[in-house]
Structure 1
Amino acid sequence: MPDESVLPGSPRLRDSLSNPGKPLVRLFKALEHAGEAVLPQVDPASADPAAATESRECRMLSPDEVTELVEAYRHGAEMNELSRQYGVHRHTVDRHLERAGVAKRPMTKMTPAKVEQATELYGQGLSTNQIGKQFGVSGSTVWKALKRAAVGMRAPVAR
């Protein structure tokens, strides 16, 4: 029996052709002009909605946007913040900064002073998530910093 994943009308083939690239669209048009029958495109309404949410649109920043992004970073904006603002992945932001020759700030979020403060707050009963919100980092970052500082950690609370 043939592999169903490559048969016309199979979900795998249908999904791969549901958003054809420019070369494939040009081929379809050329075949239509030559009088050849071309398989109809998949109706977007019938596509799996879960699959549509998994992919992100590839967004190209204009040269002006890249300049704004670089200047915002130089004035203190964080990469994740710029990523959300411009609708691109943080790695894209990183590459733009790299191409612009920008020296990136170190990722050290928990300085020794912050670890000392976090130790005090943790001793007062605050959770690592609560402490993280105060410092602008994740709770796991606080947990790791406290663990490295040999702070006795409480048992996790069940949700």
Structure 2
Amino acid sequence: MKRSFDIKVERVGCEALREVRFEVLWPHLENSNEAKIDIDESKGALHLAAIIEGDIVGVVSVFDQKCDRYPHMFSGDNVARIRAMGVLEKMRGMNVGLALMREVEKLSTANVIWCDARKVSWGFYEKCGFLYASDVSGVEYKCYSVRDVGFHKTMYKRL
């Protein structure tokens, strides 16, 4: 039986996300200080932490960033990109990711949110209503590999 937790999602500085980013997303880095994104401090950046009993257990960052990989997909849309979303392994299946995603959708001023989703997270994004990027005829784009991380697909959701 799963325990019930009171999950608080709060805006935080990007530094607060580094430990979870390192542990969950980028353990190949030397340390958590390296678990940063080049646009972490860009204008409009939104950093959220899921907190349970005072501990950060999940993280996500959102940026005003166009999709360069498939620019035709969101032509004319106001888009935001989800990056570095992760939940501690021991907290998976406890709705932490869902709480983060709901807050992203609530706070976003975009009409489309998109991400480069890791293979392990495709099912999560599907449950959240995300679709896979596809060409103009509706054929889903193939996955691509990111060095040291693995296979990804671009996914999106219209808000």
TM-score (normalizing by structure 1): 0.20
Q: Which has the larger radius of gyration?
A: 1
Higher strand share: 2
Higher helix share: 1
TM-score (normalizing by structure 2): 0.20
